[in-house]
Chains A and B, each alone.
Chain A
Amino acid sequence: MLNFTLEKRPSDSKTMSYLSPIFAIVLTLVSGGLLFTLLGKDPFHALYTFFILPLTDIYGWTELAVKVAPLTLCAMGLMLCFKAKIWNIGAEGQFILGGLGGGYIALELMNAEGFWVLPLVLLFGALSGLLWAALTALLKTRFGANEILTTIMLNYIALNWLLYSVHGPLKDPDGFNFPESALFSEFATLPVLSDDYRLNISIFFALFAVAAIWALMSKTLLGFQISVLGEDKAAARFAGFKAERLTWFALLTCGALAGLAGVSEVTGSIGQLNPYISPGYGYAAIIVVFLGRMHPVGILFASMLLALTYLGGEMAQMDLALPKSLTGLFQGMLLFYLLACDLLISYRIVRKPSARLTSSSSSNSAQA
């Protein structure tokens, strides 16, 4: 008789916390293979198409970097919030607002020329994201409103505001009534690294954010205070750390980074405003943070994997004639398996014979 049970570990397993993402990835691949088989495809070929084929040429790698940049920017901001146990689900909305705010300025400065245009557009985009996050911070610190609810609601408002804008006031007058803005001027467009590819300098913004947030969290008192606030509110209060200020700081920083991601996306690879400026980067970034173990370097790698699921989805659509929503499916499976495997950080599986057997044997002897 095999009888397994979960037993709490005396202390959390460091090894397991690193192994868990790997287990999750393996399980996701196995489940994905199973799924492809059920859909009547050769699982190995399908997985190859989804995960390897997109990276077989330089173009594929640059496209990966195009998607890594916004994911990493959003994820670094979210990491700051999650470290403080502020469950900001609103990177998506902050991303959209960043794109919308920056895009608006870019359209206003359509005829302006000069190198000051782009920085202004980027700044305004970041500020828009920051202000969107400020709403959540205000509601949380002032009224104790749950940030999970407010950020999700603000995501929908942001999306609808974008839709209204591109269907209405910001619609390109010469655009044949398509819900799109005009293309931005070259002065409001992020420079690309090479004319052959779409990859632009936003990848440097992302790498800079990784370095900055890593330094903040590991080297500064402010980062330490954020960690303490997340780990133990009572201790933070006892030590005299100001919870409200830290909450504001984490949310505003996240808003600014997500906003920067948004404005970089519209001034970079998209070049205009349209209803689809985010394929759910703000949500995928949540998975990135947890998969990357809340560590900046881990997050960078996790961003690459999540970026790959976008490329893989497109590839599967083209080569296998499967729907692009596979991307969401793989992202969902990844998070699901990760959360399941994370259980093993604090618990271990043991075979449990003892307690039940002793008590039943003692009652047997009572009868005897």
Chain B
Amino acid sequence: MNQIELYNITKRYPGCIANQAVELKVGTGEIHALLGENGAGKSTLMKIIYGVVKPDEGVVRWEDEIISVKGPSHARDLGIGMVFQHFSLFETLTVAENIALSLPKAESASMDILKQRIIEVSEHYGMKLDPNRHVHSLSIGEQQRVEIVRCLLQDVKLLILDEPTSVLTPQEVETLFKTLRILSTEGCSILFISHKLDEVRALCDQATILKAGKVSGHCIPKDTTTEELARLMVGDDTPLTEDYKKAEGDHTFLTISDLSYESDDPFACTLKNISLEVKAGEILGIAGVAGNGQEELLNLISGEDTSNKKTVLFDGKAVGHLTPEKRRILGLGFVPEERLGRGAVPNMSLQENGLLTGYQGELTANGLIKTNKVKDFAHRIIDRFNVKSSGIDAQAKSLSGGNLQKYIIGREILQNPKLLVCSHPTWGVDIGAAILIRHELIKLRDEGCSVLVVSEDIDELYSISDRICAICDGEISPIAPTHDVSINQLGMWMAGDFTFIQDSKEAE
């Protein structure tokens, strides 16, 4: 008997079909992977199963009975649990209080019994959790455990995990996989959404691959190579990987020395004595789980927050106190993590968004906008970076993530920066665009620009960085040439263990 079967599921949104005639069968106790690129329709399908979204067409069979999931609480009653990519926890409440909120009244009546159950369940599945701690004091990995335990307390028969590993260090991923394997042997079905092929091959029994809203294939991941899986995900025409030569830069352009920063926001990360250098002609990659101080550090480099004058130097000049536009004059280019709503104004056209950071050059004179130059600039970005759009008057929000990111990166690169800072440059971007972006970053490096990349995508950092390090809890790990740092070593750094095993190659 299959735990859940979906037939012919179709969901249309204005302007796009998120799912088209999708079929999916998950057996009892099976770990089933749902693979696909960003925008392939994975999340929509999961939301349909969990009752958040209603399908336009199609049938859902649960334990051999046709059902219509009325909503998340109905899904929970059926025994479907879901861990979203973005957690829904109250940071100021304790673990037990958070869990109690989602349980039926009868079960959460006695906090003592509940705490006892939380301890039992979490230990049984090998993910220790202290019910009395406040959520804001937990690491992201631990917060995820709260979400999972919350599902497990409710007699779950199907557990859906949406990109669960994207926020975890490699070591934490291992722990999670152990838990999931125990669950599966106990008969719980697991639907594992991911685009990380190695993880799917290590964990899952079956895989269904989605491409542009349709099922593009089924396979047994253990018997399929990573390349074959990738082909099913992206189609035949895109190149999959590229190897870049590593470079050594010459003189130092960006120097950060002994930078400490405490934000007014109590939930922001405090930076502690950060020092690093980026040379002209090299790419420095900073790995790390989100929320460990990346945002704060980048804001201090961009000038959106300011610090002591001498903690940030551009080419030897103290800029820590300067505003963003003054740092841009000195050669800063910046690609923020948020594309819409920071990197670009959603409701404004592409040409206006070109002016957004290009306003200091030849696009204006004496405070007047030179419309022809602005249009020309937008055309140049679109041509050179192959941005697919309806033209320079298209609203930024009408572009796909990948095309908008190409436009934003192009806008910064065409201003000939001496330092380009990129936050998650290929997050949520299709593979074709990601390759173009990486290629452009390498090209920029070879032209002698300093490039700083902050990313959660370890594979990407290994691919493009010349030197690599990690940030954890507001501190920077040792920085070393990329080929001297093993995955294990980087994982330890990401988890806050800053010892440097010199012979990391052998340790691997």
What is A's interface to B at a CB cutoff of 8 Å? 7-12, 219-222, 224, 227-228, 231-232, 234-235, 237-242, 354-355, 358-359, 362-363, 365-366
**Which of B14, B56, B356 is close to A235, meaning CB atoms less than 8 Å apart?**
B356
| Nearest CB in chain A: distance from B365 CB, A | 10
Residue contact B341 to A239, C-beta cutoff 8 Å:
no
| Nearest CB in chain A: distance from B65 CB, A | 7
| Nearest CB in chain A: distance from B207 CB, A | 27
Which chain A residue shows the least CB distance to B322?
A: A240
Using Cβ atoms and an 8 Å threshold, which residues of chain B touch A10? 14-15, 398
Residue contact B66 to A362, C-beta cutoff 8 Å:
yes
**Which of B326, B327, B359 is close to A221, meaning CB atoms less than 8 Å apart?**
B359
Does B288 lie at the interface of the complex (its beta carbon under 8 Å from any beta carbon of A)? no
Q: Which of B267-275, B346-354, B446-454 contacts A (4 or more CB under 8 A)?
A: B346-354
| Nearest CB in chain B: distance from A357 CB, A | 10
Does B174 lie at the interface of the complex (its beta carbon under 8 Å from any beta carbon of A)? no
Using Cβ atoms and an 8 Å threshold, which residues of chain B touch A227? 348, 352
Which chain B residue shows the least CB distance to A241?
A: B325
Residue contact B367 to A239, C-beta cutoff 8 Å:
no
Q: Mark B364-400, 1 if CB is under 8 A from A, else 0.
A: 1001110000000000000000000000000101100
Q: Would you call the interface of chain A mostly helix, strand, loop, or mixed?
A: helix
**Which of B54, B346, B355 is close to A224, meaning CB atoms less than 8 Å apart?**
B355
Indicate whether A238 sits within 8 Å of B334 (C-beta atoms), given known contacts A10-B15, A11-B395: yes
Report 16 cross-chain contacts, Cβ distance below 8 Å, ordered by A residue: A221-B359, A221-B369, A222-B367, A224-B352, A228-B348, A228-B356, A232-B341, A234-B338, A234-B342, A235-B342, A235-B343, A238-B342, A239-B324, A239-B325, A358-B57, A362-B68
Q: Would you call the interface of chain B mostly helix, strand, loop, or mixed?
A: mixed
Using Cβ atoms and an 8 Å threshold, which residues of chain B touch A242? 323
| Nearest CB in chain A: distance from B215 CB, A | 20
Indicate whether A238 sits within 8 Å of B54 (C-beta atoms), given known contacts A9-B14, A224-B369: no
Which chain A residue shows the least CB distance to B344?
A: A235
Residue contact A11 to B66, C-beta cutoff 8 Å:
no
CA separation between A4 and B38, bound complex, in Å?
Answer: 32
**Which of B65, B336, B348 is close to A366, meaning CB atoms less than 8 Å apart?**
B65
Residue contact A228 to B345, C-beta cutoff 8 Å:
yes
Does B304 lie at the interface of the complex (its beta carbon under 8 Å from any beta carbon of A)? yes
Residue contact B359 to A355, C-beta cutoff 8 Å:
no
| Nearest CB in chain A: distance from B287 CB, A | 24
Does B75 lie at the interface of the complex (its beta carbon under 8 Å from any beta carbon of A)? no
Does B131 lie at the interface of the complex (its beta carbon under 8 Å from any beta carbon of A)? no
Residue contact B367 to A358, C-beta cutoff 8 Å:
no
Does B357 lie at the interface of the complex (its beta carbon under 8 Å from any beta carbon of A)? yes
**Which of A219, A228, A240 is close to B303, meaning CB atoms less than 8 Å apart?**
A240
Residue contact B345 to A232, C-beta cutoff 8 Å:
yes
Residue contact A220 to B369, C-beta cutoff 8 Å:
yes
CA separation between A31 and B58, bound complex, in Å?
Answer: 46
CA separation between A11 and B393, bound complex, in Å?
Answer: 13
CA separation between A366 and B355, bound complex, in Å?
Answer: 58
Residue contact B346 to A366, C-beta cutoff 8 Å:
no
Does B103 lie at the interface of the complex (its beta carbon under 8 Å from any beta carbon of A)? no
CA separation between A358 and B54, bound complex, in Å?
Answer: 10
Does B169 lie at the interface of the complex (its beta carbon under 8 Å from any beta carbon of A)? no
Does B98 lie at the interface of the complex (its beta carbon under 8 Å from any beta carbon of A)? no
